[in-house]
């Protein structure tokens, strides 16, 4: 996370693992989700040149706002979007349940 958003994290809960099989790409993808808290100061990310050229910028959103973004903003390629949106939205929903349960 230091590279992506410029901070260290402390893992508080494991959200689980999502296993994807993208048959048109012959790709098995495993994603591990964690609920974390920022540890220390937030600094700038350490992007690679391509990410800098593409003007990547970290944004911090609430879980509800993040879920809404997942529902309204999709990657350009529909097949890939189906996996990304389903996976990330599921992790966000699980994190919300954990936070709401105290």
CA–CA gap between residue 21 and residue 76 (Å, rounded) = 20
For residue 100, the model assigns a pLDDT of 95
- pLDDT(75) > 90: no
CA–CA gap between residue 64 and residue 99 (Å, rounded) = 12
Strands (E), the chain: 8-22, 27-39
What would the CATH number be for the domain defined by 2-101? 3.90.79
Q: pLDDT tens for residues 21-54?
A: 988 889 899 999 999 999 999 998 999 999 999 9
Specify the higher pLDDT residue, 78 or 55.
Answer: 55
Tokens of 8: 């260290």
Phi, psi dihedral angles at 36 (to 5 degrees)? -130, 165
Among 12-21, 46-55, 79-88, where is mean pLDDT lowest? 79-88
pTM of the complete model: 0.80
Q: Which residues of 31-67 are buried (b: 16+ CB within 10 A; e: fewer)?
A: bebebbeeeeeeeebebeeeeeeeeeeeeeeebeebb
């Amino acid at each position: 996370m230091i590279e992506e958003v410029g901070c260290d994290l402390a893992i508080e809960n494991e959200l689980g693992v999502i296993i994807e099989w993208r048959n048109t790409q012959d790709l098995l993808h495993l994603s591990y989700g964690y609920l974390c808290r920022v540890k220390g100061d937030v600094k700038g990310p350490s992007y690679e040149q391509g990410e800098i050229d593409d003007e990547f910028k970290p944004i911090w959103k609430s879980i509800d706002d993040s879920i809404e973004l997942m529902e309204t903003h999709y990657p350009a390629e529909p097949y890939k979007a189906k996996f990304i949106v389903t996976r990330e939205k599921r992790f966000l929903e699980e994190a919300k349940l954990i936070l709401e349960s105290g």
